[in-house]
Structure 1
Amino acid sequence: MSWFKKLKDGLGKSTSKVSASLSSLSGLFGGARIDASSLEEVEDALISADLGTASAQRLAARMRRHKFEGPIDSDTLGQALADGITEILEPVAQKLEIDDARSPHVVLLVGVNGSGKTTTAGKLAQQWRDEGKSVMLAAGDTFRAAAIEQLQIWGARTGTEV
């Protein structure tokens, strides 16, 4: 599976938030290019979808340089954004290698609410258990409603201690 495919699959929830924000920009679609006003709307939509100000500004700047072919619709806009996100992430993408000689190994997941940290923790636990590693899940956001219970469900699914 390609790096971009993994990224795309892993960002489903974020994609939904961004798509919902961008779909409200009806005046953006149909033209052959994006003007300064439309770029500002795109940037605002990305910020409201929790992408962060710096990332939204970088993506908007990239969209300014993007060569759209034909009328802009949600697919072409989405592809332009995906290309921009790939451009931002590719230089820093690294495979997470767990060195068994340096044990215990702690992986801390950080992100905004609803970004998929607990689900990612469960998927990583499954992957590492499948590789024969000893895994333990620990809740860090215990003030969030049902945080511990959600992690316990992932522990039960993966046979991982919580």
Structure 2
Amino acid sequence: MNKDKNFFTGLFGRKHTEAKNDTQPATPPDDSQPTDGVAGPNSSDDEVTPENKGFLSRLRDGLSRTSKRLSDGVSSIVNKRPLDAEALEDLEEVLISADLGVAAAQRVIEALSRERFDKQVTSEEVSSALAEEVASTLLQHQKTLEIERARRPHVILVTGVNGAGKTTT
């Protein structure tokens, strides 16, 4: 195995400059063409190519894009019209596209249609219904941790978002 490259470098490290140089065009692009003032699809100055980012950075970016897409989609649907059949269908589509899952999205839609059908709702009400559905789903799968003292060592992995109290529990 190459001494500059190991398993973790492949996962979390930056790509080598050799691979970068192969993808660059042989001649520089002609910038003398007049434009109509509209930027092209690749003209973002602060855009970083995926090969320059580590694994965790790409994961964080993907999750934030999903969260933003979900909140923007919910806001655009519920702030425009009352919660009718078409709005519920659009909301279900947004929830499924945000990786909530078909079954969970249907349960959220059913709960909203029972309580708020043909009424104006806010994005906060939809968020609270979503949070209640996630909490009830997690409670269904909750079980007590039973540690067998005879079998050692024990490894317990605690996960959670920042500020959830992983260190203090």
Instruction: Classify the TM-score, shorter chain.
Output: 0.3 to 0.5
Larger CA Rg, structure 1 vs 2:
2
* TM-score, scaled relative to structure 1: 0.45
